[in-house]
């Protein structure tokens, strides 16, 4: 079912994408956009609202993160209003990276470096770009009560995030990406054991070749675009993982 509706954008103190998201959310709550409704393509929405496509993408991304919309990739894909049962089960579980930081007692983050580099083989494969494509490589130190907890290295496609390396990187990278209309809404993470490199020895205060927890992550925007490839190294002696779940049969 294709959507038939109108949204009036009021230009005021609020960012445009927030105003659009609020009006779409109100239309969903009122039943004007019932479950299963397929929204028009981003380009059509942007033209009808008189805003940029990036603004529309950010608004839709916000609503998907809130569990009101879902994106389907492919020939029959599009952006759909979620059914109530789908919204109730929308992803809300904290990421493994967030849990490692929380349970490790992370209290602050310090920016170490930010530079433009060629993607290279591994990063290119993760971000679906070529090896020579430039990426913004951000390296930060995560602290717990003033002591090093993790070295975090994130690579983002430079064409999607122009001049990101010149911004304040002491806060949330997800919030910064959201400013470009590409806030991550889904991630695939892998945790394994690795050995400390010389750079880890200096940053984390561990012995060379000592054990570290390596978290590898790919994050995706609402339209399925890979927006970040990260490799975070955590001190295992300052990190713990506690999981709680309902009992199920093995």
Domain boundaries, the chain: 16-88, 96-238
Q: What per-residue confidence (pLDDT) applies to 137?
A: 97
Query: pLDDT, tens digit, for every residue of 73-132?
Result: 655 668 888 865 444 444 445 676 777 777 677 778 899 999 999 999 999 999 999 999
3 state SS of 65: helix
133 vs 249: which has the higher pLDDT: 133
% of the chain exceeding 90 in pLDDT: 35
66 vs 122: which has the higher pLDDT: 122
Helices 16-30 and 53-65, interaxial angle, to 10°?
50
Q: Does domain 16-88 have CATH number 3.30.110.40?
A: no
CA-CA distances (angstroms) from residue 93 to 97, 101, 150, 174, 181? Answer: 11, 14, 22, 16, 22
Fold of 96-238: Chorismate lyase (3.40.1410)
Q: What per-residue confidence (pLDDT) applies to 86?
A: 47
Name the one residue in this structure whose structure tokens are 């949330």: 172
Mean predicted confidence (pLDDT) in 167-182: 88
Banded model confidence at residue 152, pLDDT cuts 50, 70, 90: very high
Q: What per-residue confidence (pLDDT) applies to 218?
A: 93
Q: What per-residue confidence (pLDDT) applies to 112?
A: 92
Query: pLDDT, tens digit, for every residue of 16-43?
Result: 888 888 888 888 877 888 888 889 888 8
Q: What per-residue confidence (pLDDT) applies to 87?
A: 46
Q: What per-residue confidence (pLDDT) applies to 124?
A: 94
**What is the CB neighbour count within 10 angstroms for residue 83?**
12
């Amino acid at each position: 079912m294709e959507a038939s509706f109108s949204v009036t954008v009021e230009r005021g103190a609020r960012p445009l994408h927030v105003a659009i998201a609020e009006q779409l959310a109100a239309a969903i709550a009122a039943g004007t956009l019932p479950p299963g409704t397929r929204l028009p393509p981003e380009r059509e929405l942007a033209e009808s609202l008189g805003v940029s496509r990036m603004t529309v993408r950010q608004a839709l991304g916000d609503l998907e993160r809130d569990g009101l919309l879902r994106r389907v990739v492919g020939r029959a894909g599009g952006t759909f209003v979620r059914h109530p049962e789908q919204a109730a089960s929308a992803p809300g579980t904290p990421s493994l990276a967030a849990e490692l930081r929380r349970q490790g007692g992370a209290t602050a983050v310090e920016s170490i470096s930010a530079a433009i580099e060629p993607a290279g083989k591994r990063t290119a494969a993760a971000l679906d770009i070529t090896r020579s494509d430039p990426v913004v490589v951000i390296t930060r130190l995560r602290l717990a009560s003033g002591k090093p907890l993790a070295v975090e290295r994130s690579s983002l496609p430079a064409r999607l995030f122009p001049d990101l390396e010149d911004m304040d990187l002491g806060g949330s990278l997800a919030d910064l990406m959201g400013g470009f209309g590409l806030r991550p809404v889904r991630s695939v993470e892998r945790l394994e054991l690795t050995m400390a490199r010389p750079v880890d020895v200096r940053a984390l205060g561990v012995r060379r070749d000592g054990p570290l927890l390596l978290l590898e992550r790919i994050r995706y925007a609402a339209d399925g675009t890979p927006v970040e490839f990260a490799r975070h190294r955590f001190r295992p002696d300052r990190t713990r993982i506690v999981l709680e779940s309902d009992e199920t049969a093995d």
